[in-house]
Amino acid sequence: MLAIVCPGQGSQTPGFLAPWLELPGVREHLEALSDAAGLDLVAHGTVSDEETIKDTAVAQPLIVAAGLVAARLLLDTGALTAATVVAGHSVGEITASAVAGALTEDDAVTFVRERANAMARAAAAAPTGMSAVLGGDPDDVAQVLAGLGLTAANANGGGQVVAAGTLEQLAELTANPPAKARVIPLKVAGAFHTSHMEPALSVLEALRPSLSPAEPLPTLLSNFDGAAVVSGEANLDSLIAQVSRPVRWDACMETMTGMGVTGILELPPAGTLTGLAKRGMRGVPSLALKSPEDLAAARAFVAEHSGAAAVTTQEGNA
């Protein structure tokens, strides 16, 4: 069984889309997504600097667009079979929803545009952020975070938890980490997946009537508990609520393991989730699709683990 996974914010790096623009149709696809996003995603994916693409309003649409571009190049319509599961981490859940057919590309980009702008406004209301906590006893880590008023916003498995809260709370965590744990500040602009993001919920609820959610074609997992969503509306419920509640990527990996996943393929900007899988899904082969040079191997990987044909040419898939 094949798992297609889509990364979240912080996975982007300056210029990461430049090699993809050399492929036929990619520039046109990105330009169309740019129109829907209200951003120049071609420029942001090629020449914008690190500080620019760190901005939540830029980073989220850019990450979703990257996944959509790669998915169109990689996946034939027959590749998403019952032997496929799709999941995304945080904003990557929007990419996953489009890949699974639960949202159209236009709806996915519209949703991420409104989500990113609303979360950026919420983040600007107070100086907040996120830090990864690596290692330590889970109960001790939970106790320290609770004592500081921090939220375990991402449970990533493999001994990694992401704490979120005010910058003062995070500074105290860095100064006094849990025993045998390391604290690494993350390049994000706010305390995502916490109560600090609640103002964004009303924006997304107001957007709901304009969207056309559909039942996902393959199995699509929710970040809330790792369970499969049963309908397009249920998926939309998950996407909206996810903004202010923790991401349970550990639960998603547990579900994939229980389903018998035999291979994990990560869409661009790839590397983060395959890294987590090496710790949380030990022994399961993985492939990070980082550049066009990886496409041939990725197509073979899809065919091997899904039992379906993958795209073999670039023409007609942009």
pLDDT tens digits, one per residue of 266-278: 999 999 999 999 9
Cis peptide before 185 (omega within 30 of 0): no
Residue 242 belongs to a domain: yes
Burial class (CB in 10 A: 0-12, 13-18, 19+), 44: buried
Question: Per-residue pLDDT for 318 more than 50?
Answer: no
Question: Pairing relation of β-strands 263-266 and 286-288?
Answer: parallel
- End-of-domain residue from the set 164, 185, 206: 185
The H or E element spanning position 162 is strand 160-166
φ and ψ of 189, to 5 deg? -100, 5
So what's the pLDDT on residue 189? 80
**Angle at 303 (CA atoms; ends 301, 309), nearest 5 degrees:** 145
Q: Are residues 84 and 229 both part of a single domain?
A: yes
Question: Per-residue pLDDT for 314 more than 70?
Answer: no
For the entire predicted model, the pTM comes to: 0.92
The percentage of residues in the chain with a pLDDT greater than 70, rounded to a whole number, is 94
Query: What is the pLDDT confidence band of residue 82, given thresholds at 50, 70 and 90?
Result: low
Residue 97 belongs to a domain: yes
Cβ-proximal residues to 229 (8 Å cutoff; 6+ apart), any chain: 102, 216, 220, 221, 222, 235, 238
Q: Are residues 102 and 137 both part of a single domain?
A: no
- End-of-domain residue from the set 154, 185, 216: 185
Query: What is the pLDDT confidence band of residue 10, given thresholds at 50, 70 and 90?
Result: confident
Residue 311 belongs to a domain: no
Q: Are residues 26 and 90 both part of a single domain?
A: yes
In whole angstroms, what separates CA 148 from the centre of its chain?
Answer: 27
Residue 154 belongs to a domain: yes
Domain that holds residue 118: 2-124+194-306
Query: What is the pLDDT confidence band of residue 311, given thresholds at 50, 70 and 90?
Result: very low
Helix axes 56-74, 92-99, angle to 10 degrees: 30
Q: How do residues 166-210 score in pLDDT, each as one tens digit?
A: 999 999 999 999 999 999 998 788 999 999 999 999 999 999 999
Summary mean pLDDT of the chain: 92
Query: What is the pLDDT confidence band of residue 309, given thresholds at 50, 70 and 90?
Result: very low
Q: Are residues 74 and 200 both part of a single domain?
A: yes
Q: Are residues 250 and 169 both part of a single domain?
A: no
Q: Are residues 181 and 201 both part of a single domain?
A: no
Please check whether residue 94 is in contact with residue 207, taking contact to mean a CB–CB distance below 8 angstroms. no
The CATH number of the domain holding residue 55 is: 3.40.366.10
Q: Are residues 253 and 204 both part of a single domain?
A: yes
Mean pLDDT check: name the lowest of 68-77, 170-179, 198-207, 244-253.
68-77
Residues with a known catalytic role? 90, 193
Residue 315 belongs to a domain: no
Q: 22 or 78: which carries more pLDDT confidence?
A: 22
The CATH number of the domain holding residue 133 is: 3.30.70.250
Q: How do residues 203-234 score in pLDDT, each as one tens digit?
A: 999 999 999 999 999 999 999 999 999 999 99
- Position of tokens 């545009």? 113
